[in-house]
Amino acid sequence: MEQVLGLVALAAGLIIGLGAIGACIGIGIMGSKYLEASARQPELMNALQTKMFLLAGLIDAAFLIGVGIAMMFAFANPFQLA
């Protein structure tokens, strides 16, 4: 029983940690590409900014879904034996 709880805690930490790393890298790459594109064509800056914020929200949503799944495993553990 204790081994299962330990592995669930490890899995939840990996889900949250790897999701955070992926979201940070994705937003960083997207932000750098936005700055490159707005430097090349400043007249498109408003349209690009709207799309950038939309994509940032989608990237963060994917990370928060992972956090929700990890919290489900941590608190409402479906692997716990009765």
Cβ–Cβ < 8 Å for 78, 5: no
Rounded to whole angstroms, how far apart are CA atoms 50 and 21?
24
Rounded to whole angstroms, how far apart are CA atoms 61 and 11?
20
Which one from 10, 13, 58, 60 is the annotated catalytic residue? 60
Q: Is 60 annotated as catalytic?
A: yes
DSSP reduced 3-state for 79: coil
**Residue for token pair 């204790």:** 2
Active site residues: 60
